[in-house]
């Protein structure tokens, strides 16, 4: 605190803790999959790096993610996050936005502490982190704008190709890019070759996108962790959101059925009965299966590129298992849908 008197500096520290640390810690302590740091450390371990050395950076990756959740919750008007009230409901919107945004920059301190003597490597990882922040904001921008106009056109034309591409792009920017960054960072930190970095990055992106597609699928049943609801059934349908199953349904339902289904959802004012009926139609037409098949096909295809470059070992299999389970078990009910974890 510079030249501040000791008592003033102490009070300022306490206030900053309340303003910047406590709102983030509140959400961190609520749990979560910790997918990004776990994948980062598993990839570092696979590539022969020092896992303990880079633990602070892995923690920073999780804090960046937590900050994005806090901001998203304000923008989306969320009432539940990880089974409890979101940060903005506890600390206020202004505080949650400021603390969440501040959490984006924890990677800088983590990098200085883990790579104090390697300015070039710090710069490379910094560029990766800044790139993912830009991508995630672009994805959130598309998500906030929604795809209603494109969905209207798709339903009118009876062709879902364009709106499906837009949903995939949103998922890739918002969910795929952060996991890609973790995999690319692992490659940078361990000095892996460009081909390995590219394959791991593409696989990380596939993990993030597949995770989000399965999130879209399981939205219809809600999400329960530890016996507590973390997402109400059909939340995306209540909000009139164009998810991957809704986009796939355009090609699977006759226009005479798709048009009223979409028109009943698009303004975000559908009641429970309409949402339940829409969920039944999506299940019955094969939209959920089409989405699940897309997610797991993409995940497996990108993993095969990694297998071509990295020798099979317990650590290789550990990375695959972690990634596959993150997608498969990130939400309840997936095993009941017939997708058992596969071997690498």
Give the pair of three-digit tokens for residue 222: 């809600």
Q: Which of 233, 239, 238 minimizes the C-alpha distance to 220?
A: 233
What pLDDT is attached to residue 336? 37
**Measured distance CA(232)–CA(223) in Å, rounded:** 7
What pLDDT is attached to residue 229? 55
Is 1:9 a contact under the CB 8 Å cutoff? yes
What pLDDT is attached to residue 343? 33
Give the pair of three-digit tokens for residue 268: 């975000």
Alpha carbon distances (Å) from 69 to 24, 91, 136: 10, 14, 11
β-bridge partners, 225: 228
Give helix 35-46 / helix 55-76 axis angle, nearest 10°: 150
pTM for this prediction: 0.88
Q: Which of 110, 18, 129, 24 minimizes the C-alpha distance to 66?
A: 24
β-bridge partners, 81: 84
**Measured distance CA(63)–CA(58) in Å, rounded:** 9
Give the contacts of 225 (CB within 8 A, at least 6 positions apart): 31, 82, 83, 332
What pLDDT is attached to residue 332? 45
Contacts of range 65-69, beta carbons closer than 8 Å, 24 or more positions apart: 65/36, 65/178, 66/24, 66/27, 66/28, 66/32, 66/100, 66/103, 67/24, 67/99, 67/100, 67/101, 67/102, 67/103, 67/104, 68/100, 68/104, 68/136, 68/140, 69/27, 69/100
Three-state secondary structure call for residue 340: coil
pLDDT in tens, the chain (344 residues): 567 788 788 888 899 889 899 999 999 888 777 889 999 999 999 999 999 999 999 999 999 999 999 998 998 888 878 878 899 999 999 999 999 999 999 998 999 999 988 999 999 999 999 999 999 999 999 999 999 999 999 999 999 999 999 999 999 999 999 999 999 999 999 999 999 999 999 999 999 999 999 999 988 876 665 555 556 788 899 989 999 999 999 999 999 999 999 999 999 899 999 999 999 999 999 999 999 999 999 999 999 999 999 999 999 999 999 999 888 854 443 333 333 333 33
What pLDDT is attached to residue 80? 79
What pLDDT is attached to residue 2? 61
**Vertex 251, ends 248 and 254: CA angle to 5°?**
125
């Amino acid at each position: 605190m510079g030249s501040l008197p000791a008592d003033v500096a102490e009070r300022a520290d306490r206030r900053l803790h309340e303003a910047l640390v406590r709102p983030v810690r509140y959400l961190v302590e609520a749990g979560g999959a910790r997918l990004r740091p776990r994948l980062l450390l598993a990839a570092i371990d696979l590539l022969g790096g020092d896992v303990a050395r880079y633990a602070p950076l892995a923690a920073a990756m999780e804090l960046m993610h937590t900050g994005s959740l806090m901001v998203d919750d304000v923008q989306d008007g969320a009432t539940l996050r990880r089974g409890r009230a979101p940060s903005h409901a506890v600390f206020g919107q202004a505080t949650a936005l400021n603390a969440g945004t501040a959490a984006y920059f924890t990677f800088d301190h983590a990098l200085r502490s883990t790579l104090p003597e390697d300015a070039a490597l710090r710069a490379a990882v910094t560029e990766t982190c800044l790139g993912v922040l830009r991508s995630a904001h672009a994805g959130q921008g598309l998500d906030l704008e929604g795809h209603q106009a494109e969905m209207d056109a798709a339903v009118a034309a009876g062709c879902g190709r364009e709106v499906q591409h837009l949903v995939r792009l949103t998922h890739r920017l918002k969910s795929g890019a952060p996991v890609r960054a973790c995999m690319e960072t692992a490659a940078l930190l361990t000095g892996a070759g460009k081909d390995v970095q590219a394959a791991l990055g593409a696989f990380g992106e596939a993990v993030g996108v597949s995770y989000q597609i399965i999130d879209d699928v399981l939205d219809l049943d809600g999400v329960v962790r530890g016996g507590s609801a973390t997402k109400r059934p059909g939340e995306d349908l209540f909000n009139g959101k164009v998810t991957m199953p809704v986009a796939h349904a355009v090609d699977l339902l006759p226009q005479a059925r798709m048009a009223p289904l979409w028109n009943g959802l698009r303004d975000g004012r559908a009641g429970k009965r309409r949402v339940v009926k829409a969920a039944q139609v999506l299940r019955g037409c094969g939209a959920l299966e089409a989405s699940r098949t897309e997610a797991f096909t993409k995940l497996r295809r990108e993993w095969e590129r990694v297998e071509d470059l990295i020798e099979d070992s317990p650590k290789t299999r550990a990375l695959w298992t972690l990634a596959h389970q993150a997608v498969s078990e990130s939400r309840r009910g997936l095993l009941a849908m017939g997708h058992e974890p596969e071997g690498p």
